[in-house]
Structure 1
Amino acid sequence: MKKVVYSALTGALLLASSQVLAQTKLLDIQHRWAEVNYTLTDDAQEDAFESLAKEAQAWVDAEPNNAEAHIWLGIIKSTEAGAVGGLGALGLAKEAKASLEKALDIDPNALSGSAYASLGTLYYKVPGWPFGFGDDDEAEKLLKKALEINPKGIDSNYFYADYLYEQDKYKQALTYAQQALAAEPRPERPLADERRRAEVRALIDKINKKL
């Protein structure tokens, strides 16, 4: 009986330890992404994104069934694409798409539906056929799904507001941008929140000029 209890306790401790390690890895990736995306520019930013992508890929390789790892590999690749620009960006965008689709296969609700929001953003940012896979209708479906899962999130509302702005739907865009600005802060992601709110305010300014 003692052996059974000991075995159960050991298993519980190992599970708790692995969960703590996974959470630590997630927070580290999130913090470093924010620093690279918001505080670096030009070659320094591109180099840092490439390094961070390699680390995220190692995380995916170590935990292939971890949806959070695939989501963050996709986010890093997609923002790296924006930093690189040009012909190289499309290849990175396709890699990001594959990572986010894999995350959806594993757990569509992971990180409050972040895979839907990030994939939807890719679909409206990337050029359409014959140059890329961009598709505004698919983008809207994915972004709405992200909002279903996380209706009060800053990112889900911001990305949909930005999409609506690109579609010239300014009144609707303003509604979602204001909801993004009203989102609860994320204490574990202060830099990302600060800079995202600045992006939301800039979007609201652009919307108001159109109204």
Structure 2
Amino acid sequence: MTDSKAPRARAADKRRRLTAAAARVLHEQGVERTTLADIARVADVPVGNLYYYFKTKDDLVRAALSEHSRHLDELTVRLDELPDPLDRLKGLVEGWIERRDTAARHGCPTGTLAAELDKRAEGTLDAEAGAVIRRLLDWAGVQFHAAGLADPDGLALTLVSGYQGMSLMANALRDPEVMTREGARLLSWLDSLRTAGS
């Protein structure tokens, strides 16, 4: 007697590997330069099998966006364990600084994807990428609101714009220290809000 769950578990594992590979390769190479074979190779899945899970490159882009969204959820759940909302936001910035080498090589995973997808004439993938960024904005806004600060949505926009800007500049200059310096400015800014809110 065979275990009927084994094939389903293998299929789920392949899909997960393909999704993670899509997120990584699309971030590193961009949508236009990435082939389905690139993603299959990184996922260690025969390229013919890829079509069973994803029919088009757009399906893989959606999977990559889903992976970015999942990572954001995991991150915010961990940060939500911190008792102070401004400490949660500082933890977010510290995480950005820790990934400075990746930002210098490839920029922000979701931001660069959103910018590239916006250049396409057709489809809604740019809006789907924007929705992932919107989730980060909304989470940050909730933290600023919980800290009792005025204009929490505006503060969230300032924070996330700061991240997008420093990621872009680190990538354009190929200088991870941009993330370190600008991240330190964001941390100081968050501390100044704590003092102002007291």
TM superposition score normalised by structure 2: 0.35
TM superposition score normalised by structure 1: 0.33
